[in-house]
Structure 1
Amino acid sequence: MAMLKALVVDDASFVRDLVKRTVRQRFPVIETMDAQNGRRAQSLMSRTAFDLVLCDWEMPEMSGLELLQWMRAQPQYEKVPFIMITSRGDKDHVIEAVRGGVSEYLGKPFSPEGLSKKIIKVMGRKLKDAMDHSGKSMASPADAFKESATLLTRKPEPAATPPVSEPSSPPAAGNAATPRPAAGRGTMSLASVRFAESTLKSVVKDINLTEVRVIAKRDQVFPGILDQAVVDIETGEGQMARLNGYVHQLQAVDKRQDTDFVSVTIRFVDEDPKKLEDLSRFIARFRAGTP
């Protein structure tokens, strides 16, 4: 029987399900509920007492930072642990979250082990006493991650725009450090794809509202199929889109065993209208071949 309550807040249902499954597998004494944005979370927290909040930063209606600030102003939530789980890991945002009263900060993509360590750190004795009282043992974080694989393989919604067509010839081996741009484009669109343990420098080859396909040099550290990913793309005017997703496909660019380039397809899971709007603008510029 669950003795503690945790609230998981994220606009992407995939991320909410992944966090909840990890928590249930690792900490069976914690019951989880979820909300798709800060406004919904605020409503739930006004009716139910929670012992832990795990929250994204960028969400429609009310952001994670706004929820944190509201929460710290409530006597019943002044000291309740709040873990910010977000792709915004730059120093300024970390400082802003700390000033807002965040308990811990976990960057996306995260591993089940990393999430578990943060929960143990912020819950402390309260979690240990609950686990001891229930006689439950902590499951392996790897087990939780394996169980979540079914979430990753769900069929995505149809793309709002078709993918950009691929030139017939792949980049030649031994060329410069990055692949050539697609035919007819005056510039290359670069992307950094972040994983739990590495970052992949790449060039955008095809993109639509459902997924992106990038080309990367083989001499980098590559992820595994179904690994979580965050795709960082410059969308123009100094703005950066941080798109959450997972690895759908890895494929050699050509049939040679010593090929220099690998194609990586990332399926998006974000449901934030603002992110989709930014992505749509980037796709329009990508198709036009403008920076």
Structure 2
Amino acid sequence: MALLKALVVDDASFVRDLVKRAIRQRFPVIELAEAPNGKRAQSLMSRTRFDLVLCDWEMPEMSGLELLQWMRQEEAYREVPFIMITSRGDKDHVVEAVRQGVSEYLGKPFSPEGLSKKIIKVMGRRLKDAMARSGKSMEGPADAFKESASLLTQTRKPVETAPPSQVQASPLVSPDAAPGPAAAKAPPSQTLRSLASVRFADSTLRSVVKDINLTEVRVIAKRDQAFPGILDPAVVDIEIADGEMARLNGYVHQLQAVDKRQDTDFVSVVIRFVDEDPAKLEDLSRFIARFRAGR
């Protein structure tokens, strides 16, 4: 029996499903509702009182920050925990969220474990008591929790990643190089069309954009890095203008060796985008236009 109510707000249905699946697995006492943007969330919150809100920052119609500002002005929601889940992890955004009254800040992409810790932190005794009344343990079997969203994330054993300095120093393949032995030996001095940083819950993949459209991006990366699993959530950081970055949410659709050798030096990774925010689609369109013009 559900004893608490939580609202999951994100314009990407994939992310909403990931959050809901993790919560259902770990906290069965929480009843879940969802909304694709702040405006719809506001409407739901006006009719039903929620005990927890987990919300994206960048969404159409009403952003997460605007929803947070509205909540903190409403008597019923002034003290309700609000977890901001977003790919915007820079200091300025964190400070602004804290200033507006955010309870916790969780960066995308996130692990089920990381999400669980944030929920336990903001819900405290209330969650513990609800779990106890339902006969559930707050600790929970570690293996069961690690499987929370395994269908979406293909959870794998932790991989030791190289220090950032080593990863950044690794030479990258030119996106113009054709698959095969020649591509594996492509010198780093070749002109690179576009660099992309692909972030996962436990690692960051330095790569080069090989192809991109409004649905997905294919990048080429050195094999000596930590690679994700199929369906792992990802955030793709691409530069759309000098110093201006776009952060696009997605998931791993495909992993493939660049050539037909087991000792291939490079791996192709396809990330399917899940964002439905018009502003992000506009940023992506700008990058695609610049990318194709450079061919």
**Same-fold status (TM-score > 0.5):** yes
Which residue does 1:248 correspond to in 2? Answer: 253
Please say if residues 153 and 233 of structure 2, whose CA atoms lie closer than 8 Å, have aligned partners that are also in contact.
no
Q: 1:175 aligns with which of 173, 186, 199?
A: 186
State the 1:262 CA deviation.
1.0
Picking from 202, 205, 215, the partner of 1:210 is 215
1:40-64 per-residue CA deviation (whole Å, 9 max, x = no partner) reads 1111111111100000000011110
Partners of 2:74 and 2:187 in 1: how far apart?
56
1:200 aligns with 2:205: yes
1:223 aligns with 2:228: yes
1:50 is paired with a residue whose SS is coil
Deviations 1:237-264, CA, capped at 9 Å, x for gaps: 4321111111111111112222221111
Residues 208, 166 of structure 1: alpha-carbon distance in 2 compared, 3 angstrom cutoff: farther
Task: State which of 266, 269, 281 in structure 2 corresponds to 1:264.
Answer: 269
Q: Is this contact kept in 2: 1:116–1:141, CA < 8 A?
A: no
1:172 is paired with a residue whose SS is helix
Q: How does 1:58-73 map to 2 (within 5 A)?
A: 58-73=58-73
Partner of 1:90: 90
- The residue type paired with residue 251 of structure 2 is Y
Deviation by residue 1:1-39 (Cα, 9 ceiling, x = unmatched): 101000000000111111111111110100000111011
Deviates more, 1:218-227 or 1:121-130: 218-227
Find 2:243's aligned residue among 238, 247, 259.
Answer: 238
CA distance, structure 1, for counterparts of residue 123 and residue 179 of structure 2 = 55
Tell me which residue corresponds to 2:80.
80
Q: 2: distance between equivalents of 1:177 and 1:41?
A: 48
Which secondary structure state, in structure 1, belongs to the residue aligned with residue 11 of structure 2?
A: coil
Q: TM-score, normalised by structure 2?
A: 0.87
Q: Deviations along 1:208-266, whole A, 9 cap, x unmatched?
A: 11110001111111111111110000011432111111111111111222222111111
Give the counterpart letter for 1:190 in structure 2: L
Asked if structure 2 preserves the Cα contact closer than 8 Å seen for 1:177 and 1:217, the reply is no
Aligned to 1:26: 26
User: What is the match of residue 145 of structure 1?
Assistant: 149
Report the counterpart of residue 162 of structure 1 in structure 2: none
Q: How much does 1:177 deviate?
A: 4.4
Amino acid at match of 2:288: I
Tell me how large the CA RMSD over aligned residues is.
Answer: 1.9
How many angstroms apart in 2 are the aligned matches of 1:43 and 1:226? 32
Distance 1:72 1:211 in 2: 37
TM-score, normalised to structure 1, is 0.88
From 265, 276, 280, the counterpart of 1:275: 280
| Equivalent residue pairs, number | 270
Distance across 2 between alignment mates of 1:176 and 1:107: 35
How far apart are the structure 2 equivalents of 1:135 and 1:241? 45
Whole-angstrom CA distance in 2 between matches of 1:91 and 1:23: 28
The 8 Å contact of residues 153 and 229 in structure 2, kept in 1 or not, is answered as no
Q: Shift of residue 174 of structure 1? A: 3.7
Counterpart-to-counterpart distance in 2, 1:111 and 1:13: 17
Any stretches of 5+ residues in structure 1 without a counterpart? 151-164, 182-186
Q: Which structure 1 residue ranges, 4+ long, deviate > 4 Å from structure 2? A: 165-171
Identity of matched residues, %? 78
Cα deviation, residue 166, structure 1: 7.6
Shift of 1:196: 0.4
| Structure 2 unaligned blocks of 5 or more | 155-174
1:172 CA displacement = 2.9
Amino acid corresponding to residue 67 of structure 2 in structure 1: L
In the other structure, the counterpart of 2:161 is: none
SS in 1 for 2:183: coil
Output the CA distance in 2 between the equivalents of 1:207 and 1:41: 32
| Contact in 2 for aligned 1:195/1:227 (Cα 8 Å) | yes
